[in-house]
Structure 1
Amino acid sequence: MYTALMIDKISSSAVVQCNSLKAPPHASMQCQDPGVNSYGSICSVLCEEGFDLIGGNMTKCSAQGNWSHALPVCQAKRCNSINPPHGSLSCSHPNGLFSFGSLCKTTCDEGFLLNGTNSTECTSQGVWSADIPQCLAKICPTLSSPSHGSLVCSDPHEEFSFGSRCVSTCEEGFVLNGTADTECSSMGTWSTDIPRCLAKRCPTLCSPSHGFLVCSDPHEEFSFSSQCTSTCEEGFLPNGTADTECTSMGTWSTELYESRALRPCPLLDKAPHHGRMNCSHPYSSFSYDSSCDFECNEGFWLRGTPTMTCNTSGHWRQDLPTCQPLQCEAIPALFGSLSMNSHPLGNFSFGSQCIFACEGASP
C-alpha cells in the first residue's frame, strides 16, 4: 500500500522547466529534450560560416530550472585593418569594422595611380579576397643634365615621380637660358622644360685694319673659350698682342692690335737734278707700297727706272734714276777752225754752243 502511494505522489509532481532559449544571431541551435526546455534538456550552438563562437557551445537545464551556461555569441571573423598610403577607402561593414563581409574600395590621391585590384572583401576565413593595392606616384619622363650644366633633384616618392623637384645649374662660363626649377605634376608631366646652358658671349671682334682675324669657336661664335688670332697683310706689322681668348666673364683676355705699316723707306726729299718727282702714299709717307714716278726736263733723258716702290723691308725696290742731258754728234773742224765756246753740261750736249770761223777771215 505504501508503494502505491509513492507512485501516485511522483506522478502528480510537475517536471522542472528552464526558460525558453533562442539561437543567438548568425547561429543555429540544437537541443536534446526529455521535454521541451525541461530538466535534463541539453542545447548546443553552432555558428554560421564566417563567425567564431565566443563562449561555451553547450548548456543544460538543471534541477533548479536554470541553464548551466549562458548562450555563446557568434562574432564575425576579423580581417587585418587596411589604410593604403596616398589613398582613401570606401567600405561597407555589415558585421563590424573590417570583419567578415566587409567590402572596401581603394581610391588614390591626386598624382598617384592604382597598382592592383581596387576592391577587396573580407572572407569567411578572415583574410582579404585580394591584396590591398598600392597607390604609386605618377612617373614623369626621365631628365638628363643640360649640356655644360648639372641637375639636382629631390624625390619625395620615387625618382622623377609626382612631387619630384629638379634644379638646373650651369658650369662656369655658361648662362642659363630658361627656368632653373621644374616639378613633376600630378599629370605626370614636368611643369617647365629643362633649360639650356649657353656659353657667355664676348663682344664681336672685327678684323684689324690691313689684317685678318682667324677664330676657333668650340661653342658659338665669339663665346666662352673662343680663341682669335690676328695676322697682318704683307707690308704691315702687329702693334700689340696677336692672340686673345673669350673668358668665363664674357670679356676678351687682351685687346687685339692694329696693324701698322712697316719701317719706312729712306726719304726722297727732292727730285733728281733736271727732273720732276710725283709720289703717292697709300698708307703713310714713304712707307710700304709708296711709289714715286720720275720725269726729266726738256733736253734730258731718264737713266734708270721711271718708278720707285717701297718694299716690305723698308727699302726702295729700284735705284734713284738720274736725268742726263741729250747728246749731240761731235762737229769736226773742216777747212777752218771751230771755237767751242760753251759746254755747260758736257761736250756736244744739250745747251752746248759752237762758233765757227773760216781760215784767213778776220774774226
Structure 2
Amino acid sequence: MAPTFALLVLSQLALYSSVTSKKVCGRPPITDGIDTLTLKRVYEVGEEVTLTCEQGYLPSTATPRRLTCSATGEWTQSDLACSPKMCPIPRPLQPLAMGRTEAPFKSVLNYTCDDGYVILGANESRCLHDGTWSNPPPLCKAVNCPLPKSPIDGRIVHDKPVTGTTTMYGRGWTYECNPPKAPSYERGSCMADGSVPEPPVCREVSCSIPSSIPNGFITFAVMRQHGYKEKVRYACNEHYTLDGEAEMQCQNTGNWSSKPVCRAPCKVGIKRGRIFYNAKKLWIADLKPNRVLHGEHVVFYCLNRADSCGYPVASTCNDGTLPIPECFEEPGKMEYTLRAKTLPSEITMCAASPSASPARAA
C-alpha cells in the first residue's frame, strides 16, 4: 500500500501546481472620470477591455483605448484621460468667481440674497453632464413692508412717492408733528424683516435759553426758551473763524444741536526771513499786521545744505498756533541785513523737496 499512497500524493501536487501557475489580471488601473460599471474584478490572460469615459467627462483621445491582460498578469498601457465637461459661469457671477469663466462638471453654485431681499427661484444650481446648469440664477426681490402709521397729531413725509399699500426695504420717511409738538423720534424705514416701527409720540419740547460762545456772539435771538426746530445763529469776533454750523437748532430731545467754535488767528513767530502767504512772497516785516487766520497756510523756506538749494515747507494755522518747521533757521541780524540774497528763500529752489521735517510750535 505504501507505493500507491505516494503516487496519489504526487499526482495531487502536480494538479495543484498546474492550476495555480496560471496568471490572471485584476481590474485595470483607472483614473477619475473613467466608467467602471462594466469592469470585472478578474480577467484571464488575453482578455481585452475597452475603457470609456463616464457621462459628463470628455476623452483625451478620439478612438477607444483597448487594454489586454498579458501573460505576466499585467495590463498593457493606456493613455486615456477623462476631463470633466465645463459649464459657463453666468456673467453676473463672474466677478465673484475670481476671474474664472467656467466651472467643472458636478460643481455647485449656492445663491443667497442680501438682508432685506428674498430669493425668487432655486438657491442651488449644479453643473450637469451636458455642460448646462440645473437651474438658472434666481432673482433677489426687495422685502415689502406695510405702509407706516402716522403719529397722533402728526403726519408722515416719505422720502420718495409711494403708491399702493406697501413700501420696499430700505425706503425711509420722516415723522412730523403739529407745531409746537415734536416726535419722540424723527426717522423710520422699511426693515429687513418686513416690519416698520411703531409711530412716535408727539409731545411738547423746549430747549434752554441759548448761551454765547467764546470770542463770538449770537447774531439775533430773544433770550428765552425755544421750541422744537427753532434756530439760533452765531458769528465770531473780527479775525476769528467760525468752525461748525453757524445755526444751532432745538432738537426733538429738548437739547440744542452742536454749537460752533470760534478759532483764533495766528501770529507768524519769526523776526527775520521770508514767507509765502496769501499768494504772495513776503518779507516778515511786510506782513502787517502779523496775523494769519485759522486754517490758512504759510510757507517757510529751508536750506538743503548738500545741494545748496532752498525748498518750501508749509504750515497751517490751527486755533492760534502756527508750527514753525524744524528745518527753518532764522537768519542772524547781520546776515538778514547784508546778505539777504543768500537766504534759502532767495537762492535756487531744489528740484525736489526732502521728506517733510517735523514742526515746532511757534
Q: With the length of structure 1 as denominator, give the TM-score of the two structures.
A: 0.33
Bigger radius of gyration: 1
Q: Which has the higher helix share?
A: 2
